[in-house]
Amino acid sequence: MTKKPLTWCVQCNVLALFSHLDQAPEYHAEGGQWKVVERDDQVAFMHAHRGHHLEELYPIEGSFISSQDYAEPTKVSYFEVTNGRQRFVVKKVRKSVLDTQRYELIPGKLRLIPSEPSIDCPALQEELTREFARHMSSAKIDRFVQDLAEAVSCLNPRKLKRAPFESHNPSTWYFILDQRILGRILRSSSPSFTEREVKLLQEFFRRNYGDPGFMATAKVAFQIEKVGDDEKTQVSPA
Ligand SMILES: [Zn+2]
């Protein structure tokens, strides 16, 4: 997501985000020949809103949300911006690949609501069985995965460390299960493990630290709250 500010004409309530592509010429076929048409959206915008009150709105990091994948070219997404004094929600829409991005300012606050974290139990079970079949019984592995899933679901997603990468979809968050969390889970929920088995499992997670397949995930719902009001606008996935 871009860190460039959006330009907001307060008077007309129109938003625009300028990039170097705005100065790119357009090519039109005319009588069997290509004709180059020079264009500059930024100059056109500044001309249309000459003398109006313009403000720069900077995107707030970590606020971007959409129910559709990042790679999806036509989607609806939301993020928060600030002019340094107030926060606003921006709705970004692109209806077709031929269409340009459109931005709309929505008064209010974007609230992201992560679900309880979960792990991919079958994948973890399969991998642990493959690695540790010689060291511990499958019953112990199954028990550990169940205990881990249960313990992870009780963790507060807002306090967990987010993975240092983005998932393919903004509404899926990945969390790192660090050694402190794993150690606590191993000690409290699986007392039947020997010290060696605990070490093997800890080592497994240390080795697979950056692997999304062994991280906890949460699905993120979102809604727009009107500031100073309890009324909420439920935003349903498109
Ligand atoms: Zn204007």
The rounded Å distance from CA 57 to ligand 1 centre is: 15
pLDDT tens track for 42-55: 888 999 999 999 99
Structure tokens at 234: 């439920």
- Ligand 1 centre to CA of 11 (Å) is 5
CA of 13 to the centre of ligand 1 (A): 7
Burial category of 237 from C-beta neighbours within 10 Å (exposed 0-12, middle 13-18, buried 19 and up) = exposed
Find out whether 67 and 237 touch, Cβ atoms under 8 Å: yes
Place of tokens 């150690």: 183
Quote the ligand 1 centre to 107 CA distance (angstroms): 18
Residue 87 CA to ligand 1 center (angstroms) comes to 20
Q: Please check the confidence at residue 230 and state whether its pLDDT lies above 70.
A: no
Ligand 1 centroid, distance to 65 Cα (angstroms): 28
- Read off the pLDDT of residues 134-169 as tens digits, 9 standing for 90 and up: 888 888 889 889 989 998 999 999 999 888 877 889
Over residues 65-84, the pLDDT tens digits come to 998 888 888 889 999 999 99
Find, among 41, 87, 40, 35, the residue nearest to 61 by Cα. 87
Task: Reply yes or no on whether the pLDDT at 183 is more than 60.
Answer: yes
Longest dimension (CA), the chain: 81
Q: Which tokens hold the place of 125?
A: 């079970």
Tell me the CA–centroid distance for residue 52 and ligand 1, in Å: 5
Half-sphere exposure of 204 (CA within 13 A, CB side): 22
Q: What is the DSSP letter of 118?
A: B
Structure pTM? 0.74
Higher pLDDT, residue 173 or 23: 173
